[in-house]
């Protein structure tokens, strides 16, 4: 398993940024199976049948962290290295601020949807095909994933939204009410910086409902959605509103209400790993040049 901490100067954010990459290389052999057998296989290890090959690619999941965290927390709090290895998928975990929007605090939407994917595909073996790319997140990061999958359906096949309770939402009035509330104005002033004034939010670039409706009516290729929420989560109503909106619009959506779970890492780790193991429609195989050419 390769764990990469990548730091570089982002032009869209005008500062140095870091992101973590998990690359499932433990299942790959430098030698082909016959040569490995001749050399003598370590008896405690299985024979590796997948080999390193020039031009091979990996399916990729972009994974967004929760509010007040950074890219390292996701990998440190959940057993994602093993899950990525078992499912042969690359994970990219970036830093996010200002709820993933372009605003006075930084051009995070541009960074996440344009610059980061281009950098990743240039310097790492990430497949550029839409069908090989997925977006996921928990808590605040889940709403960033939801917003990006709605606004840029050309980028990702599927979005996994786990406990998304703050930020992007399909229910316009919810965002307007939050922007007007004394609580958000007092304790989360970055909300207004990210999404603008409540009076001007409806019909703005981050008002998801009319944009999602337009894409559906135009027959645009849409991302599919998986939303998961603990039954005991305080943000459950907000999540279920997004599920209702997606269903009303006719988007492909699966909803999981997890009995006995709340808004914490017990919930997030379970469904991040379950997302990699079975929920996301991954190929769970290395992408060799011959197979990709035959698609």
Residue 31 pLDDT class (50, 70, 90 cuts):
confident
Report which DSSP code applies to 162: E
Identify the sign of the CA torsion 161, 167, 168, 171: positive
pLDDT digits (tens, 9 = 90+) for 177-207: 999 999 999 999 999 999 999 999 999 999 9
Residue with tokens 């670039």: 205
Cα 23 from Cα 4, distance rounded (Å):
8
- pLDDT at residue 44 is higher than 60: no
Average pLDDT, the chain: 94
Count CB atoms within 10 A of the CB of residue 213: 15
pLDDT digits (tens, 9 = 90+) for 263-279: 999 999 999 999 999 99
Q: Which residues contact 281 (CB under 8 A, 6 or more apart)?
A: 157, 158, 224
Residue 35 pLDDT class (50, 70, 90 cuts):
confident
Cα 108 from Cα 130, distance rounded (Å):
21
Q: Provide the pLDDT for residue 207.
A: 98
Token pair recorded at residue 180: 């007007």
Closest CA to 137 of 5, 238, 278, 271: 271
Residue 45 pLDDT class (50, 70, 90 cuts):
low
pLDDT digits (tens, 9 = 90+) for 130-160: 999 999 999 999 999 999 999 999 999 999 9
Q: E-strand spans in 72-129?
A: 89-94, 102-103, 106-107
Count CB atoms within 10 A of the CB of residue 237: 11
Cα 275 from Cα 87, distance rounded (Å):
10
Whether the model clears a pTM of 0.85, i.e. scores above it, the answer is yes
- pLDDT at residue 42 is higher than 70: no
Q: Provide the pLDDT for residue 86.
A: 96
Residue span of the structural domain in which 35 resides:
2-293
When pLDDT is averaged across residues 112-137 and rounded to a whole number, the result is: 98
Cα 63 from Cα 136, distance rounded (Å):
5
Closest CA to 161 of 85, 63, 14: 63
When pLDDT is averaged across residues 120-127 and rounded to a whole number, the result is: 97
Cα 294 from Cα 80, distance rounded (Å):
31
Q: Provide the pLDDT for residue 85.
A: 96
Residue 27 pLDDT class (50, 70, 90 cuts):
confident
Token pair recorded at residue 55: 């031009």
Backbone angles phi, psi at 137, to 5 degrees: -170, 165
pLDDT digits (tens, 9 = 90+) for 202-260: 999 999 999 999 999 999 999 999 999 999 999 999 999 999 999 999 999 999 999 99
Q: How many domains does the chain have?
A: 1
CATH number at residue 284: 3.40.50.1820
């Amino acid at each position: 398993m390769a764990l990469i901490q990548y730091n570089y100067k982002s032009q869209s954010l005008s500062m140095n940024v870091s992101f973590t990459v998990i690359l499932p290389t433990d299942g790959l052999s430098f030698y082909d199976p016959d040569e490995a057998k001749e050399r003598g296989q370590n008896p405690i290890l299985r024979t590796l049948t997948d080999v390193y090959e020039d031009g091979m690619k990996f399916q990729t999941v972009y994974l967004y962290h929760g509010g007040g965290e950074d890219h390292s927390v996701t990998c440190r709090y959940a057993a994602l290295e093993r899950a990525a290895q078992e499912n042969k998928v690359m994970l990219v975990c970036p830093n996010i601020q200002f709820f993933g929007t372009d605003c006075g605090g930084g051009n995070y939407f541009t960074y996440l949807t344009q610059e980061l994917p281009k950098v990743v595909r240039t310097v790492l073996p990430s497949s550029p095909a839409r069908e090989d790319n997925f977006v996921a997140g928990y808590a605040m990061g889940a709403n960033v994933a939801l917003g990006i999958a709605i606004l840029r359906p050309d980028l990702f096949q599927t979005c996994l939204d786990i406990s998304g309770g703050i930020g992007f939402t399909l229910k316009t009035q919810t965002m307007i009410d939050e922007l007007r509330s004394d609580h958000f104005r007092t304790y989360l002033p970055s909300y207004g910086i990210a999404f603008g004034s409540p009076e001007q939010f409806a019909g703005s670039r981050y008002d998801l409902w009319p944009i999602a409706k337009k894409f559906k009516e135009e027959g645009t290729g849409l991302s599919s959605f998986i939303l998961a929420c603990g039954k005991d989560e305080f943000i459950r109503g907000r999540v279920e509103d997004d599920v209702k909106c997606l269903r009303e619009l006719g988007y492909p959506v699966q909803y999981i209400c997890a009995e006995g779970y709340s808004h914490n890492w017990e919930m997030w780790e379970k469904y991040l790993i379950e997302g990699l193991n079975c929920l996301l429609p991954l190929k769970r195989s290395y992408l060799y040049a011959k197979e990709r050419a035959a698609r």
